[in-house]
Chains A and B, each alone.
Chain A
Amino acid sequence: MATVPDITVPLRLLDLPRNLPARVAEVDWALLSPPEARRLRELGLDEGVEVALTRGPGMLGGPVACRIGRMTVALRRHVAGAIRVEQGG
């Protein structure tokens, strides 16, 4: 995948092209409930961690699958929407 768009401004993980590696720029923890935020941290999500979207929400708005470090994790849409990513993977 050489002709992927440049990510210059932080993009939501939800909007990232499939399988394009990126780095977590910031997480809007306020959009998440406290248990959600804690579980997300426990799954290794943190600023600077490498992530990629491996399966988007689909037309029906189902969950998304993403890679966090070397782990694959299922998230609901709104969680993937709270994660901002930048180029570099």
Chain B
Amino acid sequence: MNHTPLVAVAGNPNAGKSALFNALTGARQKVGNYPGVTVERHAGRMTLADGRPIELVDLPGAYSLDPSSLDEKVTRDVLLGNQAGERRPDAILIVVDAANLDNHLRFALQLIALGLPVVIALNMVDLAERDGLTLDPAVIERELGVPVVATVAVRRRGLEDLRARIGEAASRAAEAPGAHQVEHDIVALQRRARQIATAATLSETATRRWTHRIDSVVLHPVAGMAIFTALMLVMFQAVFTWSTIPADAIEAGIGALGDIVGGALPDGLIRSAIVDGVIAGVGSVVVFLPQILILFTFILILEATGYMVRAAFLMDRLMASVGLSGRAFIPLLSSFACAVPGIMATRTISDEKERLATILIAPLMTCSARLPVYTVIIAAFIPNTAILPGLGLQGLVMFGLYVAGIIGALIAALVLRRTVAKGASSGFMMEMPKYQWPRLGDVLLGLWQRAMIFLKRAGTIILVTTIILWALLTFPRAPEGQSQIEQSIAGRIGAGIEVLVAPIGFNRDISLALLPAMAAREVAVSSIATVYAIDDSESGAGETALRDNLRTRWSLPTALAFLMWFVFAPQCISTIAITRRETNGWKWPAFMVGYLFALAYIAAGITYWSAVAIGL
């Protein structure tokens, strides 16, 4: 056979599988999706000493071949050759944590019984030694009858030997019988694994592990909660303050680009399309890249260090009170960056109803796409008076919007778990990994992948919608002396929407922005900017800053109602699309859109009329 051998990398969660996969394949990776499910497929290539290529696919971590989540189902199906879009692997690289042999060897035994050629990486032997555990790989090799290589993925120890063994296993593939036997007796496997682990342990000293010492503080009901709150505060503070300098630089760059392009092109429709449409529209969104990357840096580090599961532990009590579990905290935290990866991360929640409720409330977490909207409106309408040292009124309003989303989500979960996503709690049972220093390379790789996803979105969805909006605003051309906006196609559509949203205090400009903002929330800002840019060039008022335009054209109650609308409104095609894919149909995305629009309408209405009543 002439195809490149495919080797699956499998193992328990927290075995250091992905770090080993990264070390073996380097940056030569492809991230995709398995067809029909949103489980990410990580594949990469490595080259053997003799130049032969091997394709590696990093399977989701699993405890056994009896799947209890979508992730684990993919692992089983790939290994059995039943996964659509993936050929059956020629060999398996099983990664086990040297410090947790009892448990990890059990899954290894189940995998070996599949009959494919196997290599075992006895990973993180350095951490096991630090824990006072000395192992003899030869004993494991003898007991299991498969090659065992001691490795330390993060220090690249044992990799050459491992590569050679993978090469040997892959070439044995042709002879393998390929029996499809799955051993389901977990208890029997577990006992056999314990015997082997005991036999392979040369010495074991009861050193008090670092992990336990840290946990005694971090999981403490008072100290642990204080640390958690402080971490969250630092994280959100960093998102706003650290991003100022890079965001200003990007903004200045975009402004300069607009001037250069504007100066180089003759006055007319093309210049208007490029400067007012493309550069102003896409630019107003790309400015938020620093904030998104800072938030993801924190999330990636919290995950890599092992703290994320501790945070889930601390949050379990609160989540249990609304019918969810601490496990839901992790996807919900990711949703603060973007609901799409957040909803994808719910696939680790094994209970179907609990997962559904988490998906339905994920859009209520204030995602980074709302930041442009919040920032612009707050800067225009809320005075930056200091309330406490270091805390201004603007910051307080921003914080209030985040809190409104969180409270809304908790109440929604409570209601959903008693109605449409009804069911008994599936509980909370999670392995808490050892604390580890995050590896810079792995964090940077994760950030790079996130940045590319965001820029692709800016370059496609947002680019296209701003161009369409520009066209809708520009045509048909208004006769001399009449408002271009009112005569345009968009103006007529906006007038229709205005009838619906006028009762909650929304004006024509907002009505115009709501439709394109369905593509992505941040488009609301670029849409309003585009509306005013065209309006200003028509009236000959020149380029007035968006902020001044907002101040003169909107009342304060309207601005507040607009903010409230964005706390709840499901204005994001990507989120609706991912919900459809994750729930296999249109029923739940339709429900989500319906209940969130209803909430948005009510919340914005209450805000508007309350603000009017108290004379704001």
Binding site for B on A (CB under 8 A): 33, 35-36, 38-44, 46, 49, 54-55, 58-63, 65, 67, 69-76, 78-79
Q: Is the CB of B432 within 8 A of A65?
A: yes
Which residue of chain B has the shortest Cβ distance to A55 in the bound complex? B219
Among B61-69, B402-410, B490-498, B499-507, the one that faces the other chain is B61-69
Assembled-state Cα–Cα distance A64/B215 (Å): 12
Assembled-state Cα–Cα distance A60/B426 (Å): 19
Q: Is the CB of B221 within 8 A of A62?
A: yes
Q: Is the CB of A63 within 8 A of B428?
A: yes
Check: B106 CB closer than 8 A to any chain A CB: yes
Given the known A-B contacts A43-B103, A60-B221, are A65 and B429 also in contact in the complex, defined by CB atoms under 8 Å? no
Assembled-state Cα–Cα distance A38/B278 (Å): 55
Which residue of chain B has the shortest Cβ distance to A21 in the bound complex? B206
Q: Is the CB of B429 within 8 A of A60?
A: no
Q: Which of B63, B106, B220, B221 contacts A59 (CB 8 A)?
A: B221
List 22 contacting pairs A-B, 8 Å CB cutoff, sorted by A: A35-B351, A38-B68, A39-B63, A39-B350, A41-B190, A43-B63, A43-B103, A44-B103, A54-B212, A54-B219, A55-B216, A58-B221, A60-B317, A63-B316, A63-B428, A70-B131, A72-B212, A74-B316, A74-B429, A75-B429, A76-B429, A78-B427
Q: Which of A41, A71, A75 contacts B428 (CB 8 A)?
A: A75
Given the known A-B contacts A43-B429, A44-B190, A76-B428, are A35 and B316 also in contact in the complex, defined by CB atoms under 8 Å? no
Q: Is the CB of A79 within 8 A of B313?
A: no
Q: Is the CB of B427 within 8 A of A33?
A: yes
> Nearest Cβ in chain A — how far from B429, in angstroms?
5
Assembled-state Cα–Cα distance A48/B326 (Å): 29
Check: B309 CB closer than 8 A to any chain A CB: yes
> Nearest Cβ in chain A — how far from B285, in angstroms?
39
Q: Is the CB of A62 within 8 A of B317?
A: yes
Q: Is the CB of A76 within 8 A of B215?
A: no
> Nearest Cβ in chain B — how far from A88, in angstroms?
14
| Count of chain B residues near A, Cβ 8 A | 41
Which residue of chain B has the shortest Cβ distance to A56 in the bound complex? B221
Chain B neighbourhood of A58, CB < 8 A: 221, 317
Chain B neighbourhood of A70, CB < 8 A: 99-100, 102, 131, 133
Binding site for A on B (CB under 8 A): 63-64, 66, 68, 99-100, 102-103, 106, 131, 133, 186-187, 190-191, 194, 211-212, 215-216, 219-221, 309, 312-314, 316-317, 320, 326, 350-351, 424, 426-432
Assembled-state Cα–Cα distance A13/B106 (Å): 24
* Residue picked from B100, B103, B211, B351, most chain A C-beta under 10 Å: B103
Assembled-state Cα–Cα distance A43/B106 (Å): 10
Chain B neighbourhood of A55, CB < 8 A: 215-216, 219-220
Besides A67-B212, A75-B429, 8 more A-B contacts (Cβ < 8 Å) are A44-B190, A46-B187, A54-B219, A62-B317, A65-B313, A69-B102, A73-B430, A73-B431
Chain A neighbourhood of B211, CB < 8 A: 72
Assembled-state Cα–Cα distance A46/B103 (Å): 11
Assembled-state Cα–Cα distance A72/B63 (Å): 15
> Nearest Cβ in chain B — how far from A9, in angstroms?
25
Which residue of chain A has the shortest Cβ distance to B315 in the bound complex? A62
Chain B neighbourhood of A65, CB < 8 A: 215, 219, 313, 432
Given the known A-B contacts A43-B431, A72-B432, are A35 and B190 also in contact in the complex, defined by CB atoms under 8 Å? no
> Nearest Cβ in chain A — how far from B398, in angstroms?
29
Assembled-state Cα–Cα distance A24/B159 (Å): 39
Q: Is the CB of A73 within 8 A of B106?
A: no
Q: Is the CB of B102 within 8 A of A35?
A: no
Which residue of chain B has the shortest Cβ distance to A40 in the bound complex? B429
Q: Is the CB of B432 within 8 A of A46?
A: no
Which residue of chain A has the shortest Cβ distance to B63 in the bound complex? A42
Q: Which of B351, B427, B432 contacts A73 (CB 8 A)?
A: B432
Chain A neighbourhood of B431, CB < 8 A: 43, 71-74
Chain A neighbourhood of B64, CB < 8 A: 42
Q: Is the CB of A44 within 8 A of B102?
A: yes
Q: Is the CB of A69 within 8 A of B103?
A: yes
Given the known A-B contacts A44-B103, A63-B326, A70-B100, are A35 and B66 also in contact in the complex, defined by CB atoms under 8 Å? no
Q: Is the CB of B430 within 8 A of A74?
A: yes
Chain B neighbourhood of A76, CB < 8 A: 316, 320, 427-429
Q: Which of B133, B187, B317, B326 contacts A41 (CB 8 A)?
A: B187
> Nearest Cβ in chain A — how far from B73, in angstroms?
14
Assembled-state Cα–Cα distance A61/B320 (Å): 10
